[in-house]
Structures are given as C-alpha cells and as structure tokens.
Chain A
Amino acid sequence: MPLKAKVLIVDDEERFRLTLRKLLIANGLDTTAVGSGKEAIEELKQQPFDVILLDVKMPEMDGIEALGELKKINRGVEVIILTGHASVDVAVEIMRLGGYEYLLKPCPMEELLAKIESAYERKVARDERMRKAEAIQTDQAS
C-alpha cells in the first residue's frame, strides 16, 4: 500500500541508513537520511516530516535527547525509536517524551513498514482533528 508519508531516518551507521532509505523509497515513501541528531534537527527545521526513525545510540547527541529536541520543533511529528535492546525504563522515557514507539534492531521490513504506517495514520488523524478544532474556533469567532 503506497503511503504518502514523508520519512526521516536518523542513524550514525552510514550503510544502514542508506540501504534503509533505498528500501523505504522502493515502498513509495519519500525518505531522507541523516547521520546525527544535530543534522536531524536542522532537517526538521527546513521541512515537515511525518515520521522519524531515530536510532537510540549515537555519538554526540543520543536518541532520547534528540527525541526531546525534535518534538520541540514539531510536536506533530511521530518518532519511532530504533534500539538494539528493549528496557522498560527506556520505553517509559520514550513515551514520556512523546515518542510513538520503539522497534528492535535488526527489524524485518514488514514490521517496520507496518509501524511507519500506523504512526503516519495516527498523525493524519490528529492533524485532521486539529484542523477541525481550528475550523470550529474560526466559525465561532466570526
């Protein structure tokens, strides 16, 4: 199912992010890839993304810190954290900071696509609700 989602990949392993990008593009997703939290922040400031795939362990700025920063720039963007291992505290922290979910690396393509799809759907639904809420407000104002 071709999704219209705009996806940003953030991972310090060059080969990983480049091949992942090829795979997502092959599945109809408009995908950009960057290698660090800082670059991701810059990218997000320049263009709106629907879903961000964020590696949790990166030098300089780690995934959790980047998550907080990215949400500050664009509260609507859905962030999926990619982690080598799951732990309750990390999961709780992700939720607390507004992340959508986390995925374990390595991750089969179908699972990743499914998660991107559901994250995108949630965003679309939320954007829709906000638009409607705004419309009602402007109606009321006039």
Chain B
Amino acid sequence: MLKNSGYSLHNLYPYAATILSIALAVVLWLSKEIIGGSVALVIAAISFLSARDLTREVIKANEQKCHLDQQLIQSQKLAAIGELSAGIAHEINNPLAIMGQETEWIKHLLKDNNIEGPGATEELRDSLQEIVRQVDRCKDITHKLLDFARKKDPLMQGADVNKLIEDMARLVDKEATQKNIKIVRDYRKDLPRVQTDPPLLRQVILNLLNNAAYAIGKDGVITIVTRQSSNTSIELVFSDTGCGIPKEQLDKIFDPFFTTKPPGKGTGLGLSISHSIIVKLGGRITVASEPGKGATFTIHLPAQPSRGEQ
C-alpha cells in the first residue's frame, strides 16, 4: 500500500485501525494468546481491505467532482460567450438600424420632387452626420471589445499606487468641481510600492472615478481610501454618495454589456474590463451598495513585490 505515490502521514489515517490491529496481534502473540492474536490479524486484514476500498471510492468521487467542476466552468464560459455575443449583436444592431433609416431618408430626399432649397440640403447634411455619429458609436464598441477580448498580458512594474490614484483624481477633479462633486483623499502614508501594470491600473481607477461621478450627477462626495490590508495586500477603496445599486443588479454589475445608462451612452464594458484587468493583476474587485446610500468599490491587490506576469 505504501508503494502508491503521494502517501503522506495524512493518508495513512484510514489505515490506522489496520496498524493498531497488527500491533494488537503482535502483542497478543507475544503474550502467547495465539487465538487472540490470529483474530486480531484477521481484523487487521479486513480493516485494511475496507480502508483501501473506501479510499479508492473517495479518490474516484473526487476525480468525478473535478470533472464536473471543469465541465461547469466550461459551460459557464460558453454561456458567458453566448451572452457576450448576444450583447455585441444588440449593441451594434441599434446603430446599424439608425444608419439604415438615415440612408432611406436620404434616398427619399433625393427622389426628384423632394429636393427643394436649403431645407433639404440641411436635412441631407443632418442625416449624413448622424451616420457618421453611429459609425463612431460602433467603432467605440468594437474597439472596446477587441481590448476586452485580446489577451493583453499585463507588463508589471513597480508603482506608487497613491501617486497613480492622485494623478487620476486630478483628471476627474476638474469636471467634478463643476458639478459640485468633491473628491476626498485618504491615502495611507508609506503604502508599499507594488508590482503592477500602471497604465492598466490607471484605466480601472479612471473607470471607477467616472462611474462614481456619473452615479452622483451633481452635489456629492467621492472618497478614495488606500490602506494596507495585510502583509501581502493593499486595498484601494472608492466610495460615492450617488444613487447606489439595487440588490438584483449587484451581481450583474461586472457583466459585459450590463449598463443602466440610456442607449448610446456607455457600452457597459467599463466595469467588466476593469474587473478582468484586476484579475489579471492578481487581485480582485468587490462592490458593496444600497440603493440611495451610494456604492463602494474595493480593489484588492497583492503587495508582495514578486516579479513575473500573471
């Protein structure tokens, strides 16, 4: 039995009864209790066989579970891909439909008796401009998608996270103050430098800050807190006093194409891209919120300065 690979002291546990029975047999034989000793030996044999069978069953069951888990992940992935494709199709369909309409209208205007004077030229121009706008919209979507789909391996460098965040906050500050939104900073002094991909992390921070500002609209506060949550991790917390997120939407919020913005504004890819970036950086992003009480997004990042990309 000890010939099998991977046997450690832990794995000998099921055979404890066997070992004890053998020990008992030896003790009994030495005490001249032949019958007792033989009985103990029989018990040892039986318990060995049942332990071996049981462990085999457990190993098989674990393998099956592993298989099922993999299948589940696979089917979840397929479902996610399916949902993503449906999302893409829908997102691009709307601009296509509008462009189709505009060309119909242009065709209508160009029919002989419909074109008269400056009014019609204005209409033509307006339709063409709309087509250009919609093409831009599609381009935005496809570019973001390509970003999302492309396996952009992060390029890790040492970074001062507080500085990184402050740079982004200053960018958002300008527009924020116009809407009477205050950005409060609470940076942990001597936060350790981390190995991360600065441009990617900046993208995420900007996304969270912009979302927070959008959720607030006017008159509110965005609070940024950085802290060291353990020896090997840091937390970047972004809270806002905006409209909050209802419970049913909380677990969909990182889904691609999930958006509560009106059509044409925002593709719903921001948070899902941010999520996948943070995962690639070796961290995770969580959200807590109650409707009417704002939302708090927390980025957890490994602070151990280990080299190497994920």
Contacts and interface: CB of A to CB of B under 8 A. Distances in A.
Q: Do A and B come from one complex?
A: yes
B104 interface: yes
A23 B93 contact: no
Contact of B96 (A23, A57, A106): A106
A73 interface: no
A107 B161 CA distance: 50
Nearest to B123: A22
Interface string B101-115: 110110010000000
Nearest to B101: A19
24 contacts: A13-B94, A13-B97, A15-B101, A16-B94, A16-B98, A19-B102, A19-B104, A19-B127, A22-B105, A23-B101, A23-B105, A23-B108, A57-B90, A59-B262, A84-B89, A84-B94, A85-B90, A105-B96, A105-B97, A106-B93, A106-B97, A106-B99, A107-B100, A109-B104
The SS class assigned to the A binding surface is loop
A86 B133 CA distance: 27
Given A19-B98, A19-B101, A12 B89 contact: no
Nearest 9 Cβ contacts at the A-B interface: A106-B100, A84-B93, A106-B97, A19-B101, A105-B97, A109-B104, A106-B96, A16-B98, A84-B90
Contacts of A107: 97, 100
Interface of B: 86, 89-90, 93-94, 96-102, 104-105, 108, 127, 130, 260, 262-264
Contacts of A23: 101, 104-105, 108
Contacts of A22: 105
B104 A13 contact: no
Contacts of B99: 106
Interface of A: 12-13, 15-16, 19-20, 22-23, 26, 57, 59, 84-85, 105-109
